[in-house]
């Protein structure tokens, strides 16, 4: 029997939604048990993950709808506390779906590890000496992690840079480029770097100081593109052309002004972080990479690009570093991450990166579309009102009615919500 009675996903109860996920993916209840309130991370596992554990921290996990990526429907889990993000991503994905959805992917999985070499008489000569020994050094790094080759990865290159204008004088930086395949790669690279420190000291006569990966993973870029037809963009009194042009004008502001770009890119990361978090990945690494990449030209710019197609459609593109893993780190330990990866049907890290990029692009469009037309507050209002109603202590059966009243009164304040509740509850 169809428990969901053809209700839309957002109209369903939580058990109905879980039922729908199983029907749509063919997954079994145990595959999705990581989404159950008691099926997530155990206290025991948490205690093994970090220090001084006293409990667990929860966040809402929602499923974004309508994502059609590389010809496949993807149900996207998003862990986030902010209202409107999941709804906005789902809505924008629906607009994209009408024109074939998103194309997305990643170009490579190469991460960069850095060694800082100090106390050199001539850093340029040391750089040349390191390059002469490149093959031997790469073989040493590979021998330290023979398993990586089995998965198709391994050290790929060694590059040198001399930093001339530093407060401590000139020094050498050696970059080890490693294809980390499906791992996030931080531990992998850091341990390889440790093993290169002594050989590099012997070769150069210098002192290896720092040995650590770079979070500016600009050889591990995820991208997504989508087309939005004018007919899909039109709504209310706004024509498709007006919405498209308003979006391009809003994007141009972000691309030219760091004050606007910071907020613009924050909106992009609302979507990306929520997916990264649902997969128990290192969202700080993704954030660091994204913002450093946005500033790569010397000016902090938009992570997205919006333009007008020849036929007048709106075209969106996003590209940013995406250091994710589907093996290692917390991904295997966290049952919610396992359920998230199964729900998305992700088999490679490149697929996951492409999905996260597509969500970032959709999220950016949601914000730009609202800002360029009726303003962001209108869309936020009813969800914000629900949050205020809950904070004021409304019972589950009172939340919708109270939120509606606050919106109608255009007075979405905690004090007003408490006043109404006191009246209703006869206090």
Q: Which stretch binds ligand NAD (CB under 6 A): 40-48, 93-101, 148-156, 408-416?
A: 148-156
CA gyration radius, the chain: 25
DSSP β-bridge partners for residue 208:
117
User: What is each CA distance from 196 to 118, 183, 201, 207, 303, in whole angstroms?
Assistant: 15, 21, 9, 12, 34
The nearer residue to ligand NAD, 267 or 329, going by C-beta atoms, is 329
Q: Which stretch binds ligand NAD (CB under 6 A): 60-68, 132-140, 327-335, 354-362?
A: 327-335
Q: Distance between CA atoms of 385 and 400, rounded to whole angstroms?
A: 9
Q: According to the binding rule CB under 6 A, does residue 185 interact with ligand NAD?
A: yes
Q: According to the binding rule CB under 6 A, does residue 187 interact with ligand NAD?
A: yes
Q: Which stretch binds ligand NAD (CB under 6 A): 183-191, 199-207, 254-262, 359-367?
A: 183-191
Q: According to the binding rule CB under 6 A, does residue 181 interact with ligand NAD?
A: yes
Is residue 380 among the annotated active site residues? yes
- Containing 354, the helix (H) or strand (E) segment is helix 349-372
Choose which of 101, 325, 354, 379 interacts with ligand NAD (CB under 6 A): 325
Choose which of 83, 267, 329, 353 interacts with ligand NAD (CB under 6 A): 329
Is residue 218 among the annotated active site residues? no
Query: Cβ contacts of residue 217 below 8 Å, gap of 6+?
Result: 110, 111, 112, 285, 289, 321, 322, 323
Instruction: Answer whether 273's CB lies under 8 Å from 287's CB.
Output: yes
Q: Distance between CA atoms of 384 and 376, rounded to whole angstroms?
A: 12
Choose which of 153, 267, 321, 354 interacts with ligand NAD (CB under 6 A): 153
Interface pattern 105-144 for ligand NAD (x via CB under 6 A): ----------------------------------------
Q: Distance between CA atoms of 381 and 388, rounded to whole angstroms?
A: 10
Q: How many helices (H) and strands (E) does the chain have?
A: 16, 10
The nearer residue to ligand NAD, 3 or 49, going by C-beta atoms, is 49
Given 82, 201, 218, 245, the catalytic residue: 82
Strands 110-118 vs 207-213: parallel, antiparallel or unpaired: antiparallel
Is residue 175 among the annotated active site residues? no
Q: Which stretch binds ligand NAD (CB under 6 A): 179-187, 223-231, 301-309, 350-358?
A: 179-187
Instruction: Match 């969901």 to its residue by tokens.
Output: 4
Report how many residues bind ligand NAD under the rule CB under 6 A.
Answer: 23
Given 97, 264, 334, 380, the catalytic residue: 380
Nearest distance from residue 370's CB to ligand NAD, in Å? 33
The nearer residue to ligand NAD, 63 or 192, going by C-beta atoms, is 192
User: What is each CA distance from 394 to 319, 332, 391, 402, in whole angstroms?
Assistant: 43, 38, 7, 8
Instruction: Answer whether 92's CB lies under 8 Å from 369's CB.
Output: yes
Q: Which stretch binds ligand NAD (CB under 6 A): 48-56, 168-176, 180-188, 334-342?
A: 180-188
Which of 362, 287, 365 is closest to 320 using CA atoms?
Answer: 287
Choose which of 110, 232, 273, 282 interacts with ligand NAD (CB under 6 A): 282
Interface pattern 192-221 for ligand NAD (x via CB under 6 A): ---------------------x-x------
Q: According to the binding rule CB under 6 A, does residue 387 interact with ligand NAD?
A: no
Q: Which two tokens stand for residue 46?
A: 């948490």
Q: According to the binding rule CB under 6 A, does residue 50 interact with ligand NAD?
A: no
Class of residue 146 by CB neighbours under 10 A (exposed 0-12, middle 13-18, buried 19+): exposed
The nearer residue to ligand NAD, 178 or 361, going by C-beta atoms, is 178
Class of residue 180 by CB neighbours under 10 A (exposed 0-12, middle 13-18, buried 19+): buried
Choose which of 69, 184, 318, 359 interacts with ligand NAD (CB under 6 A): 184
Q: According to the binding rule CB under 6 A, does residue 285 interact with ligand NAD?
A: yes
User: What ranges in 98-239 are assigned the alpha helix state H?
Assistant: 123-132, 134-144, 146-150, 186-204, 230-233
Instruction: Answer whether 33's CB lies under 8 Å from 21's CB.
Output: no
Instruction: Answer whether 286's CB lies under 8 Å from 352's CB.
Output: no
Is residue 82 among the annotated active site residues? yes
Q: Which stretch binds ligand NAD (CB under 6 A): 39-47, 131-139, 324-332, 398-406?
A: 324-332
Choose which of 30, 56, 58, 151 interacts with ligand NAD (CB under 6 A): 151
Q: Distance between CA atoms of 153 and 146, rounded to whole angstroms?
A: 10
- Residues in contact with ligand NAD by CB under 6 A are 147-148, 151, 153, 180-188, 190, 213, 215, 282, 285, 325, 327-330
- What is the set of active-site residues? 82, 266, 282, 380
């Amino acid at each position: 029997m169809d428990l969901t009675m053809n209700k839309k996903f957002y109209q369903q109860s939580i058990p109905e939604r879980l039922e729908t996920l199983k029907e749509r993916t063919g997954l079994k209840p145990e595959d999705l048990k990581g989404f159950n309130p008691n099926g997530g991370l155990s206290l025991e596992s948490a205690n093994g993950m970090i220090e001084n554990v006293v409990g667990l921290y929860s966040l809402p996990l929602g499923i974004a709808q309508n994502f059609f990526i590389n010809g496949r429907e993807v149900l996207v889990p998003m862990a986030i506390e902010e209202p409107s993000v999941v709804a906005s991503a789902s809505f924008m994905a629906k607009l994209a779906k009408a024109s074939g959805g998103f194309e997305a992917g990643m170009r490579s999985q190469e991460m960069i590890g850095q060694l800082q070499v100090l106390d050199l008489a001539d850093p340029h000569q040391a750089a040349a000496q390191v390059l002469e020994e490149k093959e031997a050094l790469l073989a040493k790094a590979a021998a330290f992690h023979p398993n990586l080759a089995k998965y198709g990865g391994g050290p790929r290159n060694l590059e040198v840079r001399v930093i001339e204008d530093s407060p401590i004088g000139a020094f050498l930086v050696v970059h080890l480029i490693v294809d980390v395949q499906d791992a996030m790669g931080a531990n992998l690279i850091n341990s390889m770097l440790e093993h290169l420190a002594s050989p590099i000291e012997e070769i150069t006569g210098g002192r290896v100081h720092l040995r650590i990966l770079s979070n500016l993973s600009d050889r591990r870029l995820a991208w997504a593109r989508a087309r939005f037809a004018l007919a899909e963009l039109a709504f209310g009194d706004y024509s498709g052309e007006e919405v498209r042009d308003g979006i391009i004008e809003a994007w141009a502001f972000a691309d030219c002004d760091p004050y606007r770009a910071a907020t613009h890119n924050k909106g992009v990361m609302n979507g990306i972080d929520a997916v990264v978090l649902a997969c128990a990945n290192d969202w700080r690494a993704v954030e660091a990479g994204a913002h450093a990449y946005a500033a790569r030209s010397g000016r902090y710019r938009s992570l997205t690009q919006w333009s007008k197609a020849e036929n007048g459609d709106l075209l969106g593109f996003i590209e940013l570093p995406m250091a994710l893993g589907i093996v290692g780190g917390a991904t295997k330990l966290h049952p919610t991450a396992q359920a998230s990866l199964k729900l998305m049907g992700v088999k490679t890290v490149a697929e996951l990166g492409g999905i996260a990029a597509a969500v970032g692009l959709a999220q950016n469009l949601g914000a730009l579309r609202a800002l360029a037309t009726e303003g962001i507050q209108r869309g936020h209002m009813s969800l914000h009102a629900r949050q205020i109603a809950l904070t004021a202590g409304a019972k589950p059966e009172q939340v919708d009615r109270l939120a509606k009243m606050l919106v109608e009164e255009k007075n979405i304040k905690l004090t007003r919500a408490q006043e109404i509740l006191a009246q209703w509850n006869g206090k």
